[in-house]
């Protein structure tokens, strides 16, 4: 997604006038697009820098620890920014407001949070946005399952995988497995068998 996103950011900014629906005014919409673009570019730059530092020094090195803390601080800052954007827009800044691919940014920033309560707070908004075509469904399905697993409940779409006691990849418990593929299809996910094969899970 990173490559696709970065290649489309400039196009999105140049073509900002193509989206007629706006949160309040054309000026505010352009401001929101610019803000989301800046957030995403900084997010990806810092994460790429951390990856390079970890490869060079190792996960436990002070340099890597400092870089991780820098990302945590950035994530908190970006979460606050995204929450301001949501308040300004009056809802999720989705496709009809900011266009693609910027419609994914607020979701990604909130997903970065390590605070489960943040995920739970915004999941209903994400779900509604996905149902209205404002946000991709697949990511919402993953976050839905993530929240379920965190709460020690059965997941709905079967997206969450872990390493079991045998040291093998396994899937967290799933509710109503008989209708799993139907639910996955509704969220634009591939059939479960194909997903397990791609993830290297033996069932």
The encoded tokens of residue 1 equal: 């997604």
Instruction: Return the SS3 of 125.
Output: helix
The encoded tokens of residue 131 equal: 């149902």
* The predicted structure's pLDDT at residue 4: 44
Which residues share a beta bridge with 171?
161
Mean pLDDT of 5-20: 35
Contacts (Cβ under 8 Å, ≥6 apart) of 91: 125, 129
103-139 pLDDT, tens digit per residue, is 999 999 999 999 999 999 999 999 999 999 999 999 9
Q: Cα torsion for 97, 98, 100, 102, to the nearest 10°?
A: -140
The encoded tokens of residue 150 equal: 């965190």
Smallest CA-to-CA distance from 94 within 181, 29, 2, 156 is with 29
129-154 pLDDT, tens digit per residue, is 999 999 999 999 999 999 999 999 99
pTM (whole model) above 0.95: no
CB-based contact 188:136 (threshold 8 Å)? yes
26-78 pLDDT, tens digit per residue, is 668 999 999 999 999 999 999 999 999 999 999 999 999 999 999 999 999 99
* The predicted structure's pLDDT at residue 19: 35
CB-based contact 168:202 (threshold 8 Å)? yes
């Amino acid at each position: 997604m990173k490559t696709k996103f970065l290649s489309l950011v400039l196009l999105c900014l140049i073509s900002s006038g193509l989206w007629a629906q706006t949160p309040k005014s054309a000026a505010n919409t352009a401001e929101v697009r610019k803000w989301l673009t800046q957030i995403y570019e900084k997010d990806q730059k810092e994460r790429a820098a951390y990856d390079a530092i970890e490869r060079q020094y190792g996960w436990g090195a002070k340099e890597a620890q400092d870089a991780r803390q820098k990302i945590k601080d950035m994530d908190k800052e970006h979460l606050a920014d995204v929450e301001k954007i949501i308040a300004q827009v009056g809802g999720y800044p989705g496709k009809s407001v900011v266009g693609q691919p910027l419609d994914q940014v607020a979701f990604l920033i909130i997903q970065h949070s390590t605070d489960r309560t943040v995920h739970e707070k915004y999941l209903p908004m994400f779900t509604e946005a996905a149902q209205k075509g404002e946000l991709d469904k697949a990511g919402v399905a993953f976050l839905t399952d993530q929240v379920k697993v965190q709460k020690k409940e059965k997941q709905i779409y079967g997206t969450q995988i872990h390493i079991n006691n045998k040291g093998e990849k396994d899937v967290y418990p799933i509710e109503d497995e008989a209708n799993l593929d139907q639910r996955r299809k509704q969220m634009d996910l591939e059939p479960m068998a194909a997903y397990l094969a791609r993830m290297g899970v033996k069932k």
